[in-house]
Amino acid sequence: MMKREPRPYWNPYIVGVGIGLLIILSVVVTGRGLGAVGAFNGIIASLTHAIAPDYALSKGAYSAYLSGVEHPLKDWVVIEIAGVCIGGLLSGIVSGRFKFEVIKGPGISNVTRLILAFSGGLLMAYAAKFTRGCTSGLALSGGSVLSPGAWLFMISVFIGGYSVAWLMKKAWN
């Protein structure tokens, strides 16, 4: 049976202008741009609260998302990220790129790849607490409104990324 080839990727500048217009629209409506990692804060706070309510309320990192709100998941960035998941799914299906697989370089095993992915996620989430945002909420949205911290963060991400890339060469190429 012939396998359908995935559709080609879009030109990065077209995607960039599209995301830029989306940020403008978001600022015009809500006064701020897009976000991502913030949604995970709300999700882990509500998960922890569901399992161990007293414990969740005793931790400042969770209680900040629990007190004074109707529900921690009824939040702008949580709903926006739910949208990102739906949009990604729809586009993945339409473009022929939805497939259960582990994306990795040829030189490493699936298990190694998953351990590296896990470690990377851990570092990013922890660091994002110090930076007050990730590539979406801080770099993209903060960069657009000319926040000095956003530009500093972006430069640092590139320095950090390039300086560790040579060590990780085998894992990707």
79 binds other proteins per the rule CB under 8 A? yes
Q: Nearer to other proteins by C-beta: 17 or 53?
A: 17
Residue-wise DSSP of 124-165: HHHHHHHHTS-IIIIIIHHHHTT-HHHHHHHHHHHHHHHHHH
| Residue 96 backbone zone (phi > 0: left; psi -120 to 50: alpha; other: beta) | left
109 binds other proteins per the rule CB under 8 A? no
133 binds other proteins per the rule CB under 8 A? yes
68 binds other proteins per the rule CB under 8 A? no
Q: Shortest approach of other proteins to residue 91 CB, angstroms?
A: 4
52 binds other proteins per the rule CB under 8 A? no
User: What's the distance, Cα to Cα, between the start and end of the chain in Å?
Assistant: 30
152 binds other proteins per the rule CB under 8 A? yes
